[in-house]
Amino acid sequence: MLFDIVLPSVISVVTVAIVLLYAKFEAKIKLLFKEEKEFQIRDAVFLVIGMSVMVTAIVFIPQQAILVLFLAAYSFVLFLFTYIALEKWYFAVLPSIAFVALYFLSWNIILLNAFALLFAIFISIYLGGLFSWKTVLVFAGLITVMDVIQVFGTGFMGSAAGKFVELGLPVLIQVPTFPVDSWIGLGLGDIFLGGLLAIQTTQKYDRKAGVISAVSVGFAFLLFEIIMLNYEFAGYFPATLVVVGGWLLGLGVYRIIK
């Protein structure tokens, strides 16, 4: 039986890290958004619509425009989170400068994965506190439906991912599989969803529940890859289905343990 332990392990470790780091930075994040309200259901709906429009637009936007847009967005995210952590703007600009310099001068798969995971962690922590239990459930359901439509219906998700791979942008991680000798990719949106669900699970129940849900998402990817590798499944698949399935499994395990 063919299986892979690399991607499931990466997902579990990163999602657990999101849960633990959010607890560390929660006070600062809430202070930053002290005058902002939590996302309402309509905000979650608009966010999913915006993400769907962005995926569609990327298919038709020239590659150079995509490059400029995403380098600027990532640089801003790096600056913002570093500023939240250090509260010194002259230190906060250094990671952004380093990112752009490395991208043009010595970019490789290791740096791509490292920055991709950093962005997934930062965005999850940054936006995690703006959701409530109700809105995160709505968001998870809608983004899964959108993912299925954009993968199997329009095919735009695969086309957009292809452009990102060609440009080498850290919008997805690409890791080798083991013990199977191959490679597999996963979009940052899927990691963000897993982190967001784990944060809100921690908020509603406790940290143990958040960690269990994080590990169970990785376990779900282990099962999914077993099916994919042994039944010669190829092509793009809406991984949000796996994330949500793993998260629900984690909630079930937590309730049984408790």
pTM of the predicted model as reported, rounded to 2 decimal places: 0.92
Q: How confident is the model at residue 138 (pLDDT cuts 50, 70, 90)?
A: very high
pLDDT digits (tens, 9 = 90+) for 38-59: 788 999 999 999 999 999 999 9
Calculate the dihedral angle through the C-alpha atoms of 74, 75, 77, 82, rounding to the nearest 10 degrees. 140
Q: What is the pLDDT of residues 146-159, one digit of tens each?
A: 999 999 999 999 99
Neighbours of 20 (CB within 10 A): 13
**Tokens (6 digits) for 169:** 């942008």
Instruction: Enumerate long-range contacts of 36-39, CB under 8 Å, 24 or more apart.
Output: 36/130, 38/130, 38/131, 38/132, 38/135, 39/130, 39/131, 39/132, 39/135, 39/139
Residue 252 CB coordination number (10 Å): 12
Question: Residue holding tokens 């199977």?
Answer: 180
Q: Where are the domains of the chain?
A: 6-253
Angle between helices 133-148 and 188-204 (to 10 degrees): 160
Helices (H) and strands (E) in the chain, counts: 10, 2
In this prediction, what percent of the chain has a pLDDT beyond 90?
73
Average pLDDT, the chain: 91
- How does pLDDT run across 30-39, given as a tens digit for each residue? 776 665 567 8
List % helix, strand, coil for the chain (3-state, nearest 5).
80, 5, 15
